Amino acid sequence: MRICTLGDLLLDVIVRMERPLVPGDDVVASTRTGPGGQAANVAAWAAELGAEAVFVGRRGDDEAGRLASGALTSHGVEVLGPVGGRNGVVVSLVDPDGTRSMASDRGVAPELRDSDLDPAWFEGSEWLHIAGYSLLREPIAEASLAAAAHARAAGAKVSVDLSTSTAIASYGPDRFAALLRRIEPHLVFGTQDELEALGGAAPAPEWVTKRGAAGITVCSDGSRHELPAPGADAVDTTGAGDALAAGFLVGGAALALATAARCIAKMGAMP
């Protein structure tokens, strides 16, 4: 199985605190630096689960970009796309209960253009997975539409993760839904808040509602199935939804839930 993803490759700085931040004072924390970005995370987990994984995106030629690209490659992912400029960096603050808050700088990632793409990159893939963040900025939104067309022409299915309810609300739910219809996804992933931002359903034959510790709901062809999450001690929830998406694309709902549980049991968004 070959899975291609399109979106951001960022440098993640994860800070797990022993207690909540105190303004003007210090708290003890554990830190980790590594590659991140929603599309890159999905590719890394797909490779970990045995798929041939390809990431497509623009990344920087600075130290952050070289670190992120080298680390993603070490996970067995083929990294494609133009290089140049300043790479994005995300700081993820993780509370003692595993809840995380992020400060995101996407760097050059949104500058990916449709002219940067080679249709051959998508040949042989069963899935193209597009991060919803890639639909909210130009020119990467047009690149996403072009990639979806290349993928469908090559016989691949297209999946989209909605990514963010607040940005969908700011962008305009109707406008965002119109973009999704142009992409024609076979499968959409989203949290309850993200799906509600679109009116409660996605314009796709199948969608997966991510419900955190409660598990997932899978809606397909008019049917609805709720599946509980396996028990796990949450160390860091960063990337759990990306691990879940990779598992679902590779092996379905059961593998999706098991992979998400693996992700939250450690620090970091990648295997």
Q: Active-site positions?
A: 242
How would residue 187 be classed by pLDDT, with cut points 50, 70 and 90? very high
pLDDT at res. 23: 85
Q: Average pLDDT, stretch 216-228?
A: 92
pLDDT at res. 151: 98
Is 166 inside any structural domain?
yes
Is 150 inside any structural domain?
yes
Tokens 């709901």 — which residue? 217
CATH number of domain containing 219: 3.40.1190.20
Token pair belonging to 249: 């694309």
Would you say residue 68 has pLDDT above 90?
yes
Range of the domain at 17: 2-264
Check: CB of residue 33 under 8 Å from CB of residue 161: no
Would you say residue 97 has pLDDT above 90?
no
Is 271 inside any structural domain?
no
Residue with the larger pLDDT of the pair 237 and 49: 49
Q: Average pLDDT, stretch 127-142?
A: 96
Is 270 inside any structural domain?
no
pLDDT at res. 117: 98
Is 13 inside any structural domain?
yes
How is the chain classified by DSSP, letter by letter? -EEEEES--EEEEEEEESS---TTS---EEEEEEEE-HHHHHHHHHHHTT-EEEEE--B-SSHHHHHHHHHHHHTTEEEES-B-SPEEEEEEEE-TTS-EEEEEEEETGGG--GGG--GGGGTT-SEEEEEGGGGSSTTHHHHHHHHHHHHHHTT-EEEEE---HHHHHHH-HHHHHHHHHHH--SEEEEEHHHHHHTTSS-SSSEEEEE-GGG-EEEEETTEEEEEPPPP---S--TTHHHHHHHHHHHH-HHHHHHHHHHHHTSSSS--
Give how many domains the chain has, as a whole number. Answer: 1
Is 254 inside any structural domain?
yes
pLDDT at res. 182: 95
The model's pTM is 0.92
Would you say residue 194 has pLDDT above 90?
yes
pLDDT at res. 88: 96
Torsion, Cα of 163, 166, 168, 170 (10° steps): -150
pLDDT at res. 32: 83
Is 91 inside any structural domain?
yes
Is 269 inside any structural domain?
no
Q: Average pLDDT, stretch 184-197?
A: 94
Residue with the larger pLDDT of the pair 78 and 17: 78
Token pair belonging to 92: 């993820």
107 - beta bridge partners? 87
Would you say residue 267 has pLDDT above 80?
no
How would residue 210 be classed by pLDDT, with cut points 50, 70 and 90? very high
Would you say residue 64 has pLDDT above 80?
yes
Token pair belonging to 82: 């133009």
Tens digits of residue pLDDT in 2-33: 999 999 999 988 888 888 888 888 888 988 88
pLDDT at res. 96: 81
The mean pLDDT of the chain is 93
Amino acid at 155: G
Would you say residue 222 has pLDDT above 90?
no
